[in-house]
Structure 1
Amino acid sequence: MQTRDLDYFQSVATLKSFSQAAQAHHVSQPTITLAIKRLEAAFDTTLFIRDQQHHAIQLTDSGEHLLIHANRILAEMTEADREIRALLAPTISLGLPPIIGRYFFPQFVAQLNQAGILPKITTSTTGSGRLLQLLVTGAINIALIAHTPQADLSNQWNQVGHKQLLASYPFTIIDSKTHPFFPNKQVLTPSDLKQVPIINLSDDFIHASVLDYYLQSDSITANVIFTASEIDILKETVSQGLGVGLLTSLATNPNDNIVAHPITFSEPVAFNIYLVTRKGYVLNPAERQLADFFIN
């Protein structure tokens, strides 16, 4: 049995037309007809009912069952082709969230370059939540991802492959240096956020779900007055005294016009950075070199 025959069969079943399937594959109609006959002979069954009077076709019960398996087989073949090509390619498509890409990854750039890994890397930059989805669906194979277990409401974290913890950073409440909401406090609790205007980060960042987790633990209704799409916008808005925000300590530095207050809570809640790979995927040599670099 040839996979091309299954491909032709899938097209006929989808388009409900031998001629349209032939046009879609740029082959003659007899080529399509012979492929269907080979499949019917191989399975000793009829796959289509042909209504010559109305020029219509429909799948038999056997055809319906074969279509389910054909869809699965052809999808697996497409994925196998992609994975083998990736295995032979000396490149790394690395998922890299904005905060990790800006504040964590650069500290390794010189070493990665010295090891000959850096020139092989191209980055896909989006939030950790979106990167997790891309790993689960197989769109990317390896990523650096921020994850906070307490604030993860999805099941996708359990659907990826190897997970290696690389670093952990605490969350802080950032406040303005010049127009502070908490001028006399160093350490804050979630209850301190009652009725305080909050500048939140968009759902592309895990900060949004972490903030919800903090507030819900004390049954606090968030007074979110603005949602920032970027870290710099968050910092600038907070520095002007318009509200406070939640930000990992990784993304704060002394040059910011903000104060970063530690948070006391009943359990540790951290911005954890993981190296994560796709489940069931064999890393190509370049990807393995990158993984070994971070793990070792």
Structure 2
Amino acid sequence: MNTRDLQYFVALVKYKNYTQVAKQFQVSQPTITQAIQRLEREFNAQLVRKDRGHRDEMITRSGQLLFENARLINERIDLAHQEISRANQKQIRFGLPPIIGKLYISRIVQEFSGDLLSRLKITSVGSRDLLNQIRSGKIDIAILGSTAPIKEPGVFADLITTRPFGIVVSDHHPLARRNRVSFKELANERFINFDQQYIHQAAFQAYCTYSRIKPQVMVYRLPDISWVKELVRQNLGISLLVRDAAINEPGIKVLELTDPVPERFYISVAMREGYVLSEDEQNFVNRLHQIRLDD
């Protein structure tokens, strides 16, 4: 089977117009027609109705079934082209969320040689965006955060460690005199949340459900979590964060949560399923597993 035929067919299902498909691929219209005929012979099924009076009904059910599979095949082929074209490159394309970067970057600098560090191309966005970039082939390896072990289609993730959540308050807040607090005691507090921190939102909802409270929540569209900490520092509210994200921050105190809620921040190394690591990448991943964070 010619994979180009599948590309033509996927485009035909999308546009439902032979002329437009031929124009997109810069080939003649008969070329597209012949490709469809080859696919129909291959699968011994009619894929395109001969009566094209109704464009919305142009593709048969067999054609729709082939389309769904062909689209996935084309994506895998495009990804294979990307991976093979980069096979001899020395660069390691690595994703690291900002919060985890705070925990790991100094240890990565200490652990790895200058030569390896110089070949790291780091993308720093949230874990959800990094998952999408792994799937699409924009990055190859990432450290991801989650509130549960990662089980995502097309992604292999190996757990490294888990970290606790805590309550972050200003040094000027009355709670700053304490070291521990139960979430139920926070019913009348104003929480500051960062709308892009999906993991923290999930943990926050879990604690609210367990404690049966609905505290006031201020959600801000802020560029990164450091802005949340600044609002807390100014005593404009409190926040639920991974404890490590706010430890040793001036003007801020982190309180231990006493609730028996099994919510923790999972840290995993992830890559695409089927991706073959280079020797340097495998060494990099192995040593990431060996890094230990201070409790």
How far apart are the structure 1 equivalents of 2:61 and 2:128?
Answer: 41
Residue 32 of structure 1 corresponds to which residue in structure 2?
32
What is the deviation of 1:144? 0.8
Residue 23 of structure 1 corresponds to which residue in structure 2?
23
Structure 1 residues 259 and 65: CA distance shift in structure 2, 3 A: closer
Identity of aligned residues (%): 31
Which amino acid letter does the alignment assign opposite residue 220 of structure 1? I
Matched, 1:97 2:97: yes
Which amino acid letter does the alignment assign opposite residue 24 of structure 1? Q
* Alpha carbons 1:135, 1:277 under 8 Å: kept: yes
Residue 182 of structure 2 corresponds to which residue in structure 1?
189
Structure number with bigger Rg: 1
Structure 1 residues 225 and 112: CA distance shift in structure 2, 3 A: same
Residue 121 of structure 1 corresponds to which residue in structure 2?
120
Matched, 1:260 2:254: yes
Residue 235 of structure 2 corresponds to which residue in structure 1?
241
What is the deviation of 1:24? 1.7
Residue 281 of structure 1 corresponds to which residue in structure 2?
275
Which amino acid letter does the alignment assign opposite residue 100 of structure 1? I
* Alpha carbons 1:172, 1:262 under 8 Å: kept: yes
Structure 1 residues 113 and 41: CA distance shift in structure 2, 3 A: same
* Alpha carbons 1:8, 1:21 under 8 Å: kept: yes
Number of residue pairs matched by the alignment: 287
* Alpha carbons 2:176, 2:253 under 8 Å: kept: no
Give TM-score, length-normalised by structure 2: 0.80
Which amino acid letter does the alignment assign opposite residue 183 of structure 2? P
* Alpha carbons 1:175, 1:244 under 8 Å: kept: yes
Q: Which runs of 5+ in 1 are unaligned?
A: none
Q: How does 1:215-234 map to 2 (within 5 A)?
A: 215-227=208-220, 229=222, 230-234=224-228
Residue 164 of structure 1 corresponds to which residue in structure 2?
159
Matched, 1:198 2:185: no
Residue 84 of structure 2 corresponds to which residue in structure 1?
84
* Alpha carbons 1:126, 1:204 under 8 Å: kept: no
Aligned-residue CA RMSD in angstroms? 3.2
How far apart are the structure 2 equivalents of 1:127 and 1:186?
Answer: 29
Residue 167 of structure 2 corresponds to which residue in structure 1?
173
Q: Which runs of 5+ in 2 are unaligned?
A: 291-295
Which amino acid letter does the alignment assign opposite residue 74 of structure 1? N
How far apart are the structure 2 equivalents of 1:171 and 1:62?
Answer: 51
What is the deviation of 1:46? 5.6
* Alpha carbons 1:198, 1:224 under 8 Å: kept: yes
Structure 1 residues 16 and 182: CA distance shift in structure 2, 3 A: closer
